[in-house]
A and B are shown apart, each in its own frame.
Chain A
Amino acid sequence: MKSLLWRLAGHLTRGLAMIWAVTTFTFFLIRLMPGDPVQVQYERLIALGMSPEQAESGTAMTYGFVPHGPVWQQYLDYIVGLAHLDLGVSVDSQGIPVADRVFGAMPWTVLLVLSGILVSFLIGVGLGVVAALKRGNVVGHSLSIAGSLLHGVPPFVIGILLTALFTRQWRWFPSGGIYDADLVAPGFYADFMADVAYHTILPASAFALASYGGWLLAMRSSVASVLGDDFLLAAELRGLTRWMRFRYLARNAILPLFTVLAISFGLVFGGAIFIERIFNYPGLGMLLFASIGARDFSMMSGSFLLITAAVIIANILADLLYSVIDPRVRRQT
């Protein structure tokens, strides 16, 4: 237990150092981007049809929120703010605290990513076992090919196809949004959750379909490796039933996949942008994308930070999880 705590402490320190490194890198990189948030807002309002005076009034206050002063000073202020969990204020939204917006959007991305990954994991692992066991014949081969094909196809492509089919061709699902504010109000009760689920099914499926292939291939390799191990032969010789042998097989084969599962949670945060764009799902990805277009420096830094933190936390969890799940690792520590 003590060693576990030490490991955790080590991970946390490394994680914090990594967060600091990424934050610094993105901070300066973002400042390199050409474009002035005030001008962007102004011309956007003009393009929307406002008269120049209205547009001017609309952007008059934005200037006050653009950070000025030498970059080093801005950086130090930002780091100090971070230590107080203050992520700064948005330029484009004229003063709304970044933390509010970012943490408001995060649960939606988490919901989408979690459900998508879990579904794809379950499907992929299940089909992967079948593909490995049947890898001699057409069934196994086509399962693997189909899996890798879908894995190689960009998720937004699948998203587009799903949109076309299920929101227009057959109107089974809504074309966007998170819940119907006219019908339900937020709260932990069945109707609300059902509505949220109704709106999340399509984007999560797009995600799941696009990534189950990876799990299928990984599980297939893993099962194939384990199949060659001696203990299975020994189990068969000892007369254990097929079901018991299958359990041995599955349990051992799935071990390495768990760490990858935990890591992929983190990675997926960044890639959710496409799905959110297509399905009008207001998560972190959309926030980041919109803030890039608006040159909202503080919002960009904040979203980047959160996504990176998610990746790092997922990595830490992966490592801890592995030591918990795999007794062999535990024995070593």
Chain B
Amino acid sequence: MKRSVCAIAAALAITLAAGATAGCSPSKPEAKKSGGTFTSIDANHAIDPQAPINPYAGKGNAFSGYNAMPLAFAKNHLTDHNQHFPGIAESWTVSSDGAEVTINIQPKAKWSDGTPVTSEDIKTSAAVAFSQGGSVFAITPGSTGALGEVTIVNEKTIKFTQAPGARNNTFLRSILAMWVLPKSVYGSQLPADFWDKIKAGAGTTDAAKAARDEITALGKKIITFGPQKDVSAGPFVLESLNASEAILTKNPNFFNADKIGPDKVRLRNYTGNEQIWNYLTAGELDTAPYTSTPTNVVEQILKVPGSRKITGLSQVSAALVFNQKYAPFDRVEVRQALAYLIDRSEVQKIGEPDSGKVAEHTSGLIEDAAKQWIGDPEVSKLNPYNVDKAKGEALLTQAGLTKKDGKWMLANGQPFTFKLQVPNGFSDWVAAGKNIASQLTNAGIAVEATTSADYAVYQKEIAEGKYAAGFWLIALGPSTYNAYARLYGGANGWSAFGGKLSHKLAGEGGNWIGGAETANIAGVGTLNPGELTYQLSQMPVDQAKETIIKLAKYTNEQLPGIQMWNYINVQFVNSTRYENFPPDNCECLRLTHGVWMQLGYIQPKKQP
């Protein structure tokens, strides 16, 4: 509060009060060294000079892969969600039942102030993670698969044990994603009896609730806390900030410092996709994060000398999902008919021409992942729903609709018409939605693409079940549980808590897809997709094939949604100043470019 009074006084002096903002470092930065300054964009959030240097803070100035390090970085593997690149953790072993993870810290890992990274730092990091909550660090009684014990084995080895009770096979992944924080900075924020509080909070008594409230309050305090000067175990240290860019300098104490090419990194802010295109065509960026770019702009960007594309796998799919509470979408024949009537390649061409690939099959996973999990033969058994007007019309007739004067009528005599909702700001969905509406209208179903004011409104209203059809991201792999949970999880009425699965009826508790709880699938029998999805979270990954086949068949036949396109991760790089970028389909592509540097990529171009 004192700071704000000071700030008011400063701001009222209408001079170049820019001196009142950002840092207080009056000294000029050093001259550039040979590695140069690498310029890129921070895609996660706007740069906020007032935010703390804390990786947990939403707008924090600790950038993953640059000055914020987790234990390990998740590889973008097609099927195995436990594959990681080493971070602060050099290697790790998992017990046979998956409940115990032993981490070996990088022997040369040091903080930027010269002190070594030890297990004490990791334990402190785990404590902070508990204060923040979420995933395996949840202290809610009855939550499944949470972290139980943290044991220090020696200075460079630490053990994490899952709490007794229900298992969750994302345990390793969640542990490895934990941010590593220095005890020297954060230790003072934690009370001495913090671990006792965590133990106490797991119960159901009043004292337990009080402990949990204390931990939450502490979490709120910690998330706004950050050191005055950055203490980083990563390849870079934050040097200065302003509201439109952050400058980081190389950390000589990084355990792999000789692999890092650039001397400095400049992370710029951006307010919209077209700004990234701006920067790219002006040649002001060395790399850019994934941005959805139309073909004509891609052409322009590639004309800039030195620029090229790197493409890779993206386990995200855009689907048109129906709210089955709106007749006639409760009839599977109608949903299948629409799949036959919509030309998905045209939709993809209009919506996401460059960073998307037409989804050949609706299986609930992206095509490549599906093939990897259940094999090509199984995937080709699925119905591709190629454009077939005759079949579509036959299905509609079968569902009781009639065609009059070229327009389809429902059984009750009303014309078959619906609104396709898309959120403002998602340009690819907006364009695709319009195209689908045009296609279906030409086929005799009057569809109108309408937009919600912004994504927040869209989210809220879709969860309330206000729209007959809308766009939804599905197939969020590599964890198949996560992928299918988008279709058969909370949005469709199923929720798992404390090891028990429950199902709510359509329209209640956020169930807006409103699909049937079970259905009879030809050749397999009656299936409950929610249960099958839940099983995916429990069973070991190598036994999942049968379950995935069932879910793929279910999704393909019941069509809670029609998969339109699978996203391709397209990133633009410019090799004028730096060379040696990752190849196409590198498993590191979805990680930040700081991680690319840690893997040895991005070296300054040798001057002739």
Contact = CB atoms under 8 A, between A and B. Distances in A.
A230 interface: no
Given A35-B456, A39-B456, A64-B220, A181 B241 contact: yes
A53 B170 contact: yes
B266 A182 contact: yes
Contacts of B455: 40, 43-44, 293
A237 to B, nearest CB: 45
A167 B278 contact: yes
A36 B272 CA distance: 22
A170 to B, nearest CB: 11
Q: Point out which of A51, A58, A167, A171 has the most chain B C-beta atoms below 10 A from its C-beta.
A: A51
A302 to B, nearest CB: 10
B242 A94 contact: no
Nearest to B478: A51
Contacts of B192: none
B243 A108 contact: yes
Given A35-B459, A93-B51, A163-B278, A104 B21 contact: yes
B450 interface: no
B460 A182 contact: no
Interface stretch (A21-29, A183-191, A238-246): A183-191
B459 A40 contact: yes
Contacts of A110: 11, 14, 17
B25 A51 contact: no
B242 A179 contact: yes
B394 interface: no
A105 B203 CA distance: 45
Contacts of B565: none
Contacts of A290: 46
A168 B456 contact: no
A290 B135 CA distance: 28
A277 B476 contact: no
Contacts of B243: 104-105, 108, 178, 282
Interface string B98-137: 0000000000000000000000000000000100111101
A214 to B, nearest CB: 22
A177 interface: yes
Interface in A56-75: 56-62, 64-65
Q: Point out which of B20, B46, B56 has the most chain A C-beta atoms below 10 A from its C-beta.
A: B46
B394 to A, nearest CB: 37
Nearest to B489: A52
A185 B18 CA distance: 11
A228 B160 CA distance: 89
Interface stretch (B2-10, B229-237, B549-557): B2-10
A118 B515 CA distance: 62
B457 interface: yes
Interface residues of A, number: 81
A60 B459 contact: no
A53 B177 contact: yes
Contacts of A126: none
A106 B457 CA distance: 28
A286 B271 contact: yes
Contacts of B7: 99-100, 103-104
Nearest to B178: A57
B44 interface: yes
Given A49-B590, A93-B58, A293-B454, A182 B133 contact: no
A188 B24 CA distance: 12
A114 interface: yes
A175 B284 contact: yes
Given A108-B243, A175-B278, A182-B29, A96 B48 contact: yes
Nearest to A289: B271
Given A53-B174, A177-B245, A34 B58 contact: no
Contact of A171 (B3, B22, B272, B282): B282
Contacts of B14: 110, 114
Interface stretch (A80-88, A133-141, A205-213, A250-258): A80-88
Nearest to B4: A99
Contacts of B476: 46, 51-52
A270 interface: no
B37 A87 contact: no
A22 B223 CA distance: 32
Q: Point out which of B11, B19, B242 has the most chain A C-beta atoms below 10 A from its C-beta.
A: B242
B306 to A, nearest CB: 15
A111 interface: yes
Given A65-B220, A185-B28, A36 B460 contact: yes
Contacts of A99: 1, 3-4, 7-8
- The size class of the interface chain B forms with chain A is 35 or more
Interface in B11-36: 11, 14, 16-23, 25-29
Nearest to A106: B11
B275 A280 contact: yes
A294 B241 CA distance: 23
B562 to A, nearest CB: 20
A61 B56 contact: yes
Interface in A142-175: 163, 167-168, 171, 174-175
A87 B347 CA distance: 47
Nearest to A103: B7
A11 interface: no
A86 B473 contact: no
Contacts of A47: 473
A64 B22 CA distance: 27
Contact of B16 (A58, A93, A193): A193
B216 interface: yes
Contacts of B133: 57, 60-61
Contact of B1 (A86, A171, A176, A188): A86
Contacts of A89: 224
Q: Point out which of B22, B51, B58, B485 has the most chain A C-beta atoms below 10 A from its C-beta.
A: B58
Interface in B188-231: 216, 219-220, 223-224
B48 A196 contact: no
A277 B50 contact: no
Nearest to B24: A186
A36 B463 CA distance: 11
A282 B29 contact: no
A233 B123 CA distance: 89
A221 interface: no
A56 B51 contact: no
A96 B47 CA distance: 13
Contact of A96 (B25, B224, B284): B224
Nearest to B240: A181
Interface string B153-183: 0000000000000000010011001000000
B479 interface: yes
Interface of A: 34-37, 39-41, 43-44, 46-49, 51-54, 56-62, 64-65, 84-87, 89, 92-97, 99-101, 103-108, 110-111, 114, 163, 167-168, 171, 174-188, 192-193, 196, 277, 280-282, 286, 290, 292-295
Given A43-B459, A181-B245, A181-B266, 18 more contacts: A52-B482, A53-B135, A54-B177, A57-B177, A61-B56, A62-B58, A84-B1, A92-B58, A96-B48, A96-B52, A99-B1, A108-B21, A111-B17, A167-B278, A175-B275, A176-B275, A193-B16, A277-B272
27 contacts: A35-B456, A39-B463, A48-B44, A49-B314, A53-B173, A60-B134, A65-B220, A94-B223, A96-B50, A96-B51, A100-B3, A103-B7, A107-B20, A111-B16, A111-B18, A171-B282, A177-B268, A178-B242, A181-B247, A186-B19, A188-B19, A277-B272, A280-B269, A282-B46, A282-B47, A293-B425, A293-B454
Per CB-CB distance, the 9 closest pairs between chain A and chain B, nearest first, are A35-B456, A99-B4, A60-B134, A57-B134, A282-B243, A95-B224, A103-B7, A107-B17, A177-B244
Interface of B: 1, 3-5, 7-8, 10-11, 14, 16-23, 25-29, 37, 43-44, 46-52, 56-59, 74, 81, 129, 132-135, 137, 170, 173-174, 177, 216, 219-220, 223-224, 240-247, 264, 266, 268-272, 275, 278-279, 281-282, 284, 290, 314, 316, 425, 454-457, 459-461, 463, 473, 476, 479, 482, 485, 569, 590
